[in-house]
Structure formats: C-alpha cells, structure tokens
Amino acid sequence: MALTPTFRPGTAADAGDLAILFDAATRRQVSWFWGLNAQPGQSWFEVGRERIRNSTGSDSHYSKWQVATLAGETVGALCTHRIADPYDPGDLNGVPQAVLPFIELEGVAVGTYNVFVASVFPEYRGKGIGHHILEKAAELARQEGATRLSLIVESFNPDAHRLYRRYGFRDWERRPFIAFTGSEDEGELILMVKDLA
C-alpha cells in the first residue's frame, strides 16, 4: 500500500534519527568516517549526531534536511544542497581514499541541486515513500531556481538505482568504488542527473 508522508524541516532534535538514516543510505560508510574522528570511548553515533546538530557549515547539518513523517512519526528524510559553480572541494590533504571518488563526482555535477541523502527506515521501504522524497527534492530545487537534480548511487544498490531511473534520472558519470574498512561491497559509484522541466 502506497503511503504519502508529510514533510517538515529538520531540527536539532532529529539529529539521532538523521544520523541513522544517513548511515543506512551510505551502507555504513558514514559511520566508518565518523568513527575515524571519534575520541577514545566515543561512538561513531555520538560524532555523527553532534555533527548534524552543531556543524552549521557541514552539508549534513540539520538545517539541510527535510524529515518525512506519517502521523508524526519519522519514516525517512532528505538532505540536499546546491553544488557551487565553481566547485571548491577544499583541502583534500588527509581525506580518506574512499571519500575521494564522491568528491570527484560532485565536481562533475557543479551547479546542480544535489540529493545528498535520501533514506527511508526499513519498515517503511517499498511503500512509495522514496518517490515522495524525490518529489520533495525536485520541489526544493525549483524553489532554488535549479534546472537539474543530481545524486550518487552505488552500482551494488540496484533497488535504489531502479527507483532513480523510474523517477527520470539517467546515468551521467562513474567512478570506482573504493572500499572502506569493514566494507565488502565492490562496484562503482554512479552519478545520476535529472533535468527539471
């Protein structure tokens, strides 16, 4: 049965849910990355939650999120940002190798409105919520005057790849996926784009 969520802006109180949704969307890559920055005795979850709550300059700050709800319960979320043109990746010294292909693909997608994270909790998947999340992304992009949506998906996530194709995204560019510690995935990162009418 298809479900129609309501969207609201993210808040600091959502940071815990957003950290979990972000990690699920990246197949544990973001928890690995946050774990690299953890202090002794601190979990990746604490690092991620703190970053989402307080790092205002971060692409994952709660102000960049829209939360999908059903009857007041969080079921998924969307994080977006405009990729600046010209693109400045910042200082890449010390950036883990596994992150560099993502940065390269963002550099290809300059000027697009980027779906940085689109994620749904497992018990709500397959119910049409992902489609509504992409509709919300397109709405936000148009409000910003953007003419293109972009996102990155892994070749080993065929369900998400199919969803994006059904929604009108097409493959644009690829980079090899570089496995991070603990990942057994193999394949490519696929930059996808959708032209907005």
CATH number for position 189: 3.40.630.30
Average pLDDT for runs of 10 along the chain of length 197: 93 98 96 96 98 96 98 97 93 95 97 98 95 97 97 96 96 98 95 95
Structure confidence at residue 58 (pLDDT): 93
- Any domain includes 35: yes
- Cα–Cα dist 158/63, whole Å: 30
- Any domain includes 17: yes
Task: Identify the CA nearest to 81 among candidates 55, 112, 118, 51.
Answer: 112
* C-alpha pair distances (Å), 152 with each of 73, 77, 108, 174, 192: 27, 16, 11, 9, 6
DSSP strands (E only) in 4-89 = 6-9, 65-70, 73-82
* Number of structural domains the chain divides into: 1
- Any domain includes 1: no
Instruction: Read off the tokens for 15.
Output: 């940071």
- Any domain includes 50: yes
- Cα–Cα dist 180/100, whole Å: 12
- Any domain includes 142: yes
- Any domain includes 131: yes
Which structural domain, as residue segments, surrounds residue 48? 6-195
- Any domain includes 27: yes
Structure confidence at residue 65 (pLDDT): 98
Structure confidence at residue 1 (pLDDT): 72
Instruction: Read off the tokens for 78.
Output: 């969307």
Structure confidence at residue 197 (pLDDT): 78
- Any domain includes 21: yes
